[in-house]
Amino acid sequence: MTRYVWKPNSNAARSWFLQSKGPFWTVPLGRRDGSVSISNETDALPPPTSNFTVLTQLFAAVNLDAKDLVVLSAGHTIGTSHCFSFSDRLYNFTGMENPSDIDPTLEPQYMMRLKSKCASLNDNTTLVEMDPGSFKTFDTDYFKLVSKRRGLFHSDGALLTDPFTRAYVQRHATGAFKDEFFADFAASMIKMGNANPLTGSQGEIRKKCSVVNH
């Protein structure tokens, strides 16, 4: 894994998205990756509870803008999440810790579906699909869900609170601009991959992208 959590191993990341029927992009050769994974560096990643202001600040800190934010958020079209990453939206939105303390921005039927899977704030084991129905495929369904107020995380819903990101979500929720979105995603991944590069004797140039040299 790369030393900087904002900069995933570019070849490995690209291969992962390709396997999920996602976009392809050219990865420059010769970049340096870290040789160790440091858990507390994930603290630099935007937490799923972030509002739009926090998200833009964290992205701006690594030279990523609002377009990168909404584009890269669509990576949530793949994978699953534990209940604890979003269960406060179901049971503890304002700190009252009861079943009626819900996030009013969540679409009601989707909220009830989530509650049927995540029984309480104490559920630390259950996994929920981030993009129900196509969580193994990279597509534009994420935008359809967010536009219907069915984004799983606070950070997903936050995209609807800004005019620019809301317009991007609504455009790609139509599913009519897949190639455009894929091109945007590839461009943002390249941009993120160029953040905080390792230089000099830092890290190593890997012989095989997915593993360290030793």
Q: Which of 66, 98, 129 is the last residue of a domain?
A: 129
Q: Which residue has the higher pLDDT, 188 or 212?
A: 188
The pLDDT score that the predictor gives to residue 120 is 93
Percent of the chain at pLDDT exceeding 70: 82
| 105 is a domain residue | yes
- Residue numbering of the annotated binding site for substrate: 46
Kindly state whether residues 95 and 74 are assigned to the same domain. Answer: no
Q: Are 203 and 32 in contact (CB under 8 A)?
A: yes
Q: Which residue has the higher pLDDT, 5 or 172?
A: 172
Kindly state whether residues 86 and 73 are assigned to the same domain. Answer: no
Quick one: tokens of 11? 């070849």
The residue whose two tokens read 């969540």 is 106
- Residue numbering of the annotated binding site for heme b: 76
The residue whose two tokens read 């699953």 is 80
Lowest mean pLDDT among 42-51, 112-121, 135-144, 158-167: 42-51
Q: Are 34 and 18 in contact (CB under 8 A)?
A: no
Those residues with Cβ within 8 angstroms of residue 185's Cβ, 6 or more apart along the chain or in another chain: 17, 22, 23, 71, 72, 74
| 12 is a domain residue | no
| Total domains in the fold of the chain | 2
The pLDDT score that the predictor gives to residue 42 is 62
The pLDDT score that the predictor gives to residue 4 is 31
Q: Are 64 and 188 in contact (CB under 8 A)?
A: yes
Q: Which residue has the higher pLDDT, 142 or 13?
A: 142
Residues 83-102, mean pLDDT to the nearest whole number: 92
- Residue numbering of the annotated binding site: 46, 76-77, 131, 139
Domain of residue 114: give its range.
81-129
* Eight-state DSSP code of residue 27: P
Kindly state whether residues 112 and 189 are assigned to the same domain. Answer: no
| 25 is a domain residue | no
Q: Which residue has the higher pLDDT, 37 or 67?
A: 67
Kindly state whether residues 138 and 193 are assigned to the same domain. Answer: yes
Kindly state whether residues 88 and 124 are assigned to the same domain. Answer: yes
- Residue numbering of the annotated binding site for Ca(2+): 77, 131, 139
